[in-house]
Amino acid sequence: MLMTGTEYIESLRKLNTRVYMFGEKIENWVDHPMIKPSINCLAVTYDLAQDPEYADLMTAKSSITGEKINRFAHLHQSSEDLKKKVKMQRLCGQKTASCFQRCVGMDAFNAVFSTTFEIDEKYGTHYHENFVKYLKYIQENDLVVDGAMTDPKGDRALAPHQQKDPDLFLRIKEVREDGIIVRGAKCHQTGSINSHEHLIMPTIAMKEEDKAYAVSFAVESDAEGVYMIYGRQSCDTRKMEENADVDLGNKQFGGQEALVVFDDVFVPNERVFLCGEYDFAGMMVERFAGYHRQSYGGCKVGVGDVIIGAAALAADYNGAAKASHVKDKIIEMTHLNETLYCCGIACSTEGYATKAGNYQIDLLLANVCKQNVTRYPYEIVRLAEDIAGGLMVTMPSEKDFKSDTVVGKEGETIGDICNKYFAAAPTCSTEDRMRILRLLENICLGSSAVGYRTESLHGAGSPQAQRIMIARQGNISEKKELAKAIAGIK
């Protein structure tokens, strides 16, 4: 059954998720002003699935049950499915101008599904059966799952088993007859607080010495021993200001990251999908990373659409829309944004079936997609800030614009003065101009930046991670043979 956005929010209230912020436990985290916008973002993924206009993108037929499900819980069955995924992500980015936090779980589903099939094929385990039953439960209940891969890592020069503190990579502490005990943490976890479940994967390829760290499993967000520490964002406490509105830029939506701690958490056997088979850790990581790097050709493009629109409005409001250099900058922003989209569609079009039956993207093109995402959004933001002007970061507060404190010799208030001196083109009000500049500040520099600017660099792996994969997938030896053939070298 497909939930509505309201039903999703209400379902979170039934959880006993342990959330900490500013050194204190947050009892009612669902309604906390700093967390609420990120929950609203997720609610959009539910409401769009209810809208007939977007049903083809937002829903799919389950390959497990045959029932209609939210596409965020779907196993890709074709290249067309992979393309619809990217288009869905662009749509969600356009509707929220932020991170809607559901992509990581979807990408984890597809990576774990295909990898567990091949683990069972080699070792005769039951991980794939476990996972299919788990995903069926997720689909039937329309749940949000946080896909968790990134470990704290400690000293990057050392392997997991070499770390001074063994908990710096999440590990199997104990294997019991009925399950396992795990300990450690996952950091930078997108949407973790707002998820019903967590699907854990290893963070790197491993050797035999690290097999205690080769683990994949699922737990409820409020499982005993699991707790989360909310990650700060720039300008985040603005959301806690009384009657905050204009200053927020994107008042309704926002992203969310957290440190998720596993303090000796018990995982029953039926929720274990990898337990010491270290030779498959790399496969799971590589497949997940490929899917998630494809994702950025959709979600970042949707947010980019909003940035381009906001920059164009800022030009209108500043009276500069007809300037040739402004027109050219908006053209360049559009070119860069659509190039990112092209990469997302291309790696989807070149998708292929795995042994398990779901579809994998072209790994080389997916990594090229993400490599571009580490660069182009920064240029898009630079151009948007150029068009917007310095007022984007120097304007007084919303309270100043609404202040009735008298300061002028003719009885003008602070509000009168602000509205007078920050007026621009007669086609807009001063408040409308402030709103669009605050939106750009929010996306380019503020609390939505976690869903666009900085995440474009580090999300789904930092630039060097893609370059390693591009080198591995680039098939230079074959290219050498092509050159030899043309040059006549035997």
Strand partners for 181? 174, 266
Query: With 90 as the cut, is the pLDDT of residue 267 above it?
Result: yes
| Pair 95, 48: CB distance under 8 Å | yes
Q: Write down the pTM of the prediction.
A: 0.96
DSSP per position, 233-260: -TTGGGGGSTT--GGGSSSS-----EEE
User: Rounded to an integer, what distance in angstroms lies between the CA atom of residue 289 and that of residue 272?
Assistant: 21
What pLDDT digit, counting tens, does each position of 180-210 carry? 999 999 999 999 999 999 999 999 999 999 9
User: Rounded to an integer, what distance in angstroms lies between the CA atom of residue 81 and that of residue 65?
Assistant: 17
The per-residue pLDDT of the chain, averaged, comes to 96
Domain ranges of the chain: 286-477
| SS3 assignment, position 360 | strand
Looking at residue 446, its pLDDT comes to: 72
Q: How many CA atoms lie within 13 A of 308 on its CB side?
A: 24
Pick the closest to residue 15 from 174, 166, 227 (CA basis): 227
What pLDDT digit, counting tens, does each position of 17-68 carry? 999 999 999 999 999 999 999 999 999 999 999 999 999 999 999 999 999 9
What pLDDT digit, counting tens, does each position of 353-409 carry? 999 999 999 999 999 999 999 999 999 999 999 999 999 999 999 999 999 999 989
| Pair 330, 387: CB distance under 8 Å | yes
Query: With 80 as the cut, is the pLDDT of residue 135 above it?
Result: yes
What band does 234 get if pLDDT is binned at 50, 70 and 90?
confident
Query: How far is residue 480 CA from its own chain's centroid?
Result: 38
Query: With 70 as the cut, is the pLDDT of residue 447 above it?
Result: no
Query: How far is residue 476 CA from its own chain's centroid?
Result: 32
Q: How many helices (H) and strands (E) does the chain have?
A: 17, 14
User: Rounded to an integer, what distance in angstroms lies between the CA atom of residue 275 and that of residue 290?
Assistant: 23
Pairing mode, strands 145-148 and 197-200 = parallel
Q: Which residue has the tokens 């209230």?
A: 13
- Tell me which DSSP letter residue 52 carries: G
Pick the closest to residue 215 from 166, 145, 285 (CA basis): 285
What band does 324 get if pLDDT is binned at 50, 70 and 90?
very high
CATH number for 286-477 (one of 1.20.140.10, 3.10.330.20, 3.40.50.2000, 3.40.50.970): it is 1.20.140.10
Query: Rg for the chain (alpha carbons), in Å?
Result: 24
Q: CA angle, corner 199, sides to 471 and 450, nearest 5? A: 65
Average pLDDT (216-244) is 95
Instruction: Spell out where 22-170 has E strands.
Output: 24-25, 59-61, 68-70, 145-148
- Catalytic residue annotation: 99, 103, 190, 257, 292, 296, 299, 455
Angle, helix 430-444 to helix 376-388, in steps of 10 degrees? 160
Residue 182, Ramachandran bin (φ over 0: left; ψ between -120 and 50: alpha; else beta)? beta
